Structure 1
Amino acid sequence: MRVAFFGCTGATGVFILPQLLSLGYDVSVLVRDKKKLGDLTNNSSLYITEGSPRDENTVRTVINGSDIVLSTLGNAGYGSESDGLMYASIKNIVSGMRDSKVKKLVLMEGIFVGQPTDSYTAQTLFKPFLYFYSPWRDAMNLSNFVNSDDVKNSIDWIIIRPPFLTNEIIDDKDVPTRYSHYRDCLRLGVTYKVSRQCVAHFLVEIVKQASGRDIGDFDIWSTYKHFAPTIVQN
């Protein structure tokens, strides 16, 4: 199976890419500078395209021939080069997926980004934040786009919404038992945190199940398709 991966050199993405390659997947990535990939550039299963996710043709090249798309692209903040990046990128990603007939999409957003499936209380609680912080508005535009009937009718997606992300390093063997995930974001609260390493593990598990591996007792795609579950550290 081939995975198209956007955001592989980001703070969470750097935990994901080595796992995908070690599992034997072919991985097609988009980076601004391939030097950031270090020794991974020598991996024969890694297909590298340099460029910007704002460029539709570049995104289409990365997705072509893939079976699933994974994106951990984020927005760095006010006035940065990444301002509006998430919304611009997702439009190009969905367009590229349709061209290549790719059906499955996995995204990472933040807990403050509301979803139509959230309770009224959750939507009311988080909505004010969108007016004060442009990166959240960008993420909300992404959410509204993928929740449109036009996209949902052609793309099976899951959005992971972690709360506060930390750089805590956890022993690899302990990671699977160090986090939990829930459909209802209010079950967590806004003060919870989770290691990027745990988020990376869960995202890789979603990809694995998409390829038919290790479904086990919990079918992620049947449970969370067109939902945006939250993840918290135990």
Structure 2
Amino acid sequence: MKITVFGATGGVGREVVRQALDAGHEVTAVVRDPARLPVPAHERLRVATVSDVTDQEAVLSVISGQDAVVSALGAASNKQAKATPVAGPALTAITSAMDRAGVRRLSAVSAAPVGPLADGEGMFTRAVVYPLLRRLLRDLYADLAVMEAAMSASGTLWTVIRPPMLQNKPGTGTYRRALDANVRGGRTIPRADVADALLTTLTDPATAGHAVGVAS
């Protein structure tokens, strides 16, 4: 499969690139600064520099002829809480470019608080954790909500992955998933497992047009 990865230099994005190469895919890693991509040169890896991922023409040039697109753009840390929105404008451009190029399959990382609380979730999470996160990081989650809306309105076969707090730990491959819901009691997940979810859903038609909650 030929896959374009946006946000390739981030914690999740670099894991997507590594895992996709390990799985035998051809990868186009979209970056602003190639020096920030800590992935060794590979015969199936193309590094494409795009300074503005909201520029539809620039985006079109890196997705034409591909089979699928993965977006790891999003909230990397709390320091970005007041940053200019990225994911929403970027996915608006990316999905429009995909429609023009005839590229259908798309997966993108969002965040658990953008989705609904899991059925049976504990009172502390319901009354304290989620309300606090949604208040403190409201700009980030608003950006991700715009991103999800742009994907839903597009002609793509999209899947949104909604993880809780991300960890820099080895992937387990045994994380839990919930279709159109968050995982009950889900608190954390390794970035490597989120990358796995982004890639495996590309070939899982049951997840097309759905959000998937993931957690350890």
* Pair 192,79 (structure 1): closer, same or farther in 2 beyond 3 Å: closer
The aligned residue for residue 179 of structure 1 is 175
The aligned residue for residue 85 of structure 1 is 86
The Cα of 1:146 is off from its aligned counterpart by 2.1
RMSD value, Cα = 2.5
State the distance in 2 between where 1:38 and 1:24 align. 19
For the 8 Å contact 1:4–1:70, the answer to whether it is kept is yes
SS of equivalent to 2:146:
helix
* Structure 2, gaps ≥5 residues long: none
State the distance in 2 between where 1:139 and 1:30 align. 19
For the 8 Å contact 2:112–2:182, the answer to whether it is kept is no
* Pair 38,181 (structure 1): closer, same or farther in 2 beyond 3 Å: closer
State the distance in 2 between where 1:3 and 1:184 align. 24
The Cα of 1:129 is off from its aligned counterpart by 5.7
| Aligned pairs for 1:111-130 within 5 A | 111-114=112-115
The Cα of 1:167 is off from its aligned counterpart by 1.3
For the 8 Å contact 1:75–1:84, the answer to whether it is kept is no
Alpha-carbon displacement from aligned partner over 1:197-221 (angstroms, at most 9, x marks no partner): 21122222223x2xxxxxxxxxx32
TM-score, structure 1 as length reference: 0.77
SS of equivalent to 2:98:
helix
For the 8 Å contact 1:129–1:136, the answer to whether it is kept is no
1:78 alignment partner AA: A
The Cα of 1:96 is off from its aligned counterpart by 1.2
| Aligned pairs for 1:81-230 within 5 A | 83-114=84-115, 132=136, 133-148=138-153, 151=154, 154-170=155-171, 175-176=172-173, 178-189=174-185, 192-207=187-202, 209=203, 220-222=204-206, 224-230=207-213
- Pair 1:45 & 2:48 matched: no
2:193 alignment partner AA: C
* Pair 159,37 (structure 1): closer, same or farther in 2 beyond 3 Å: same
The Cα of 1:196 is off from its aligned counterpart by 1.1
State the distance in 2 between where 1:206 and 1:97 align. 18
For the 8 Å contact 2:164–2:188, the answer to whether it is kept is yes
Deviates most, 61-70 or 22-31: 22-31
1:158 alignment partner AA: T
State the distance in 2 between where 1:168 and 1:135 align. 24
* Pair 158,127 (structure 1): closer, same or farther in 2 beyond 3 Å: farther
State the distance in 1 between where 2:209 and 2:132 align. 24
Q: Once the two structures are aligned, what percentage of the paired residues are identical?
A: 24
- Pair 1:57 & 2:40 matched: no
The Cα of 1:35 is off from its aligned counterpart by 1.2
**How many residues align structurally?**
203
State the distance in 1 between where 2:134 and 2:187 align. 20
The aligned residue for residue 75 of structure 1 is 75
The Cα of 1:187 is off from its aligned counterpart by 4.5
For the 8 Å contact 2:107–2:198, the answer to whether it is kept is yes
For the 8 Å contact 1:130–1:137, the answer to whether it is kept is no
1:46 alignment partner AA: L
* Structure 1, gaps ≥5 residues long: 210-219
SS of equivalent to 1:159:
strand
